[in-house]
Homo-oligomer: A and B are copies of this chain.
Amino acid sequence: MPRAGLTPTLVAEEAARLSDEEGFHSLSLAAVAKRLKVATPSLYKHVDGLAGLRREVALLGANGLGERIQRAAVGRSGPDALRSTAEAYRRYAHEHPGRYTALQRLPLLAGAEPVLTADPVRVLAEVLRGFGLPEDQLVHAIRALRSALHGFVDVEAHGGFGLPEDVDETYALLVEGLVRALRQWPGSAGRTNDGTEP
């Protein structure tokens, strides 16, 4: 019988696909093993149990999200960059719901901070550059931005927006609210171009 030829990367990627397709709650060693046509215990040669598998999916999610919003921000600045980034953020969460869910728990998984080739938080920090915030407000502003984007995406993913009103429109309004809030952030240098005028 020929070998299956698994690697840690192959296993993690299959797990991520499964998470996206069936939901993060459906991620199990047994399910991944079945997809790879392999017995469950075989996976232990490549990943560190279920906890390790989840961690790998979370890492793929963090890097994937980071790369996506990075690409969305490149060549833009200020409100314009924020709008583009916010759009990419939500789109990634829609396209990779399992990875996105996994990503949330990453901070709690203590241990040596592993290789994040593209840290989403760092990208958001760069996006906020163009808003002229004082140095000591940057961390607070990043946190607020993360909260708003994640909160929307999370509520949406849980079916929390039940009314018929257009959810895309709500998101656009939320992002514009963020732009306004950031332009008038305490201690800010003042108004920045809102990106809707030349």
Contact = CB atoms under 8 A, between A and B. Distances in A.
Contacts of A165: 139-140, 143
B158 A147 contact: no
Given A150-B151, A180-B181, A162 B107 contact: yes
A16 interface: no
B107 A170 contact: no
Interface of A: 104-105, 107-108, 137, 139-141, 143-144, 146-152, 154-155, 158-163, 165, 167, 169-170, 173-174, 176-178, 180-182, 184-186
Where chain A touches its partner, the secondary structure class is helix
A61 to B, nearest CB: 13
Closest 6 CB pairs of A and B: A151-B151, A177-B181, A147-B151, A147-B152, A107-B159, A144-B174
A194 to B, nearest CB: 11
